[in-house]
Amino acid sequence: MQFEVAGIYVINLDSRPERWEVFQYGLKAWETAFGKMPERLPAVAGIKLPGYGLKPWFTARIPEKRRREWGGKAGCILSHRRAIQKALEHGWKNVLIVEDDAFLTEEMAQTWKDGLERLVRELPEDWSTINLCTVDPIFPYRARAQYQGVKVVEAAGALGLVAYLLNGRIFERILAELPDEQTIWSWVARHKTIDQWFSQNMLQYGKVYLFVPCLVGHNATPSDICMAPNPGRDLDFTLDNIRLLQSPLLFIITKSVRRVDNYIRWFFSGFRFIIKRLRGL
């Protein structure tokens, strides 16, 4: 029995056709691994959203570069929301959401098919996300399984939404927390990016897993948010030296402390939100 990925959405702006063209060179690897052909999902252009550039969130003292960055953040948030909404409408049990600067090698695709897929299938079903590409895992973390040098790691969170599986049982709960076009600017003012929000909140919806090294890589292309070049990254970036906890009890205790810390961060983000509401972004 396979771990079935219900569908794959690749988020891509209409204004960045070159990124979709590059992504298509690797379509075979995605289909080999997951048995599904990735589907392009038009991304949301944040600078075209209602309220962009207007008070109270945008004031005259805010430079154009920063305005466009906030527009990029807003578009990214609503693009991921759109992917989750479409997966919910299809009735999918999960969805693999991929940003268009991700890449999957044939070698890693085969590693997934040969062994990692089985390990993921054997995980308890109470997971929230399985991150295929992680910039920075959130401590604590412990290894749950391993295949040919690739560890399946449980963590308190994971920063980076380049490629991740989301469990269908939490689609509606996530959508209830994410903003729409009417609430996007206040949400950005409080939470900044969807990557950061996911890293701090997914633990409350279920277990968070990632791969060490990453299953999916990240191409060095200019960011859709700030248009600055991203550093080139390989499949091992930042993860080789993480300290895995060996004691299950210590892991549970430390994870509980992390949940309290996340709540405190959420509480104080409300104060920052009020200040930004008065001063603008």
* 3-class DSSP state of 93: coil
In this predicted structure, the answer to whether residue 178 has a pLDDT above a threshold of 90 is: yes
Tell me which DSSP letter residue 176 carries.
H
Q: Identify the residue with better confidence: 264 or 69.
A: 69
8-279 topology per CATH: Spore Coat Polysaccharide Biosynthesis Protein SpsA; Chain A (3.90.550)
* 3-class DSSP state of 79: helix
| 85 close to 104: Cβ distance less than 8 angstroms | no
Contacts of residue 10, defined as CB under 8 A and 6 or more positions apart, other chains included, come to: 20, 23, 38, 39, 40, 41, 98, 99, 100, 102
- Read off the pLDDT band of 270 (50, 70, 90): low
| 214 close to 239: Cβ distance less than 8 angstroms | yes
In this predicted structure, the answer to whether residue 244 has a pLDDT above a threshold of 90 is: no
| 18 close to 224: Cβ distance less than 8 angstroms | no
Tell me which DSSP letter residue 62 carries.
S
pLDDT for residue 262: 63
Tell me which DSSP letter residue 21 carries.
H
Mean pLDDT, range 259-278, rounded to an integer: 59
pLDDT for residue 236: 53
CA-to-CA distance for 79 and 99, rounded, in angstroms? Answer: 10
pLDDT for residue 279: 56
pLDDT for residue 72: 94
Q: What is the pLDDT of residues 205-236, one digit of tens each?
A: 999 999 999 999 988 766 666 555 555 555 55
| 143 close to 153: Cβ distance less than 8 angstroms | yes
Instruction: Output b/e per residue, 49-62; b: 16+ Cβ within 10 A.
Output: bebbeeeebbeeee
pLDDT for residue 135: 86
Q: Where are the domains of the chain?
A: 8-279
**Exposure on the CB side of residue 137, measured as CA atoms within 13 A:** 32
* 3-class DSSP state of 261: helix
DSSP string of 109-135, one letter each residue: HHHIIIIIHHHHHTS-TTEEEEESS-S
In this predicted structure, the answer to whether residue 3 has a pLDDT above a threshold of 60 is: yes
Tell me which DSSP letter residue 260 carries.
H
- Short-list 9, 3, 10, CA closest to 35: 3
| 26 close to 114: Cβ distance less than 8 angstroms | no
Q: Rounded to 5 degrees, what are φ and ψ at 198?
A: -60, -45
